[in-house]
Chains A and B, each alone.
Chain A
Amino acid sequence: IAGITQAPTSQILAAGRRMTLRCTQDMRHNAMYWYRQDLGLGLRLIHYSNTAGTTGKGEVPDGYSVSRANTDDFPLTLASAVPSQTSVYFCASSDSGESYGYTFGSGTRLTVV
Chain B
Amino acid sequence: GQNIDQPTEMTATEGAIVQINCTYQTSGFNGLFWYQQHAGEAPTFLSYNVLDGLEEKGRFSSFLSRSKGYSYLLLKELQMKDSASYLCAVKDSNYQLIWGAGTKLIIKP
Contacts and interface: CB of A to CB of B under 8 A. Distances in A.
A107 B41 CA distance: 7
A99 B42 contact: no
Given A42-B87, A43-B99, A104 B50 contact: no
A98 B30 contact: yes
Interface string A90-112: 10000000110111111100000
B30 to A, nearest CB: 6
Interface in B51-109: 87, 89, 91, 96-97, 99-102
Nearest to A6: B42
Contacts of B87: 42-43
B48 A101 contact: yes
A53 interface: no
Interface string A38-49: 001111110010
A23 B100 CA distance: 24
Contact of A106 (B42, B96, B101, B102): B42
A34 to B, nearest CB: 13
Contacts of A43: 43, 87, 89, 99
Contacts of B50: 98-99
Nearest to B47: A101
Contacts of B89: 43
The 9 closest A-B pairs by CB, nearest first: A101-B45, A104-B42, A42-B101, A43-B99, A42-B99, A99-B48, A104-B43, A106-B42, A107-B42
Interface of B: 8, 30-31, 33, 35, 41-45, 48, 50, 87, 89, 91, 96-97, 99-102
Interface of A: 40-45, 48, 58, 90, 98-99, 101-107
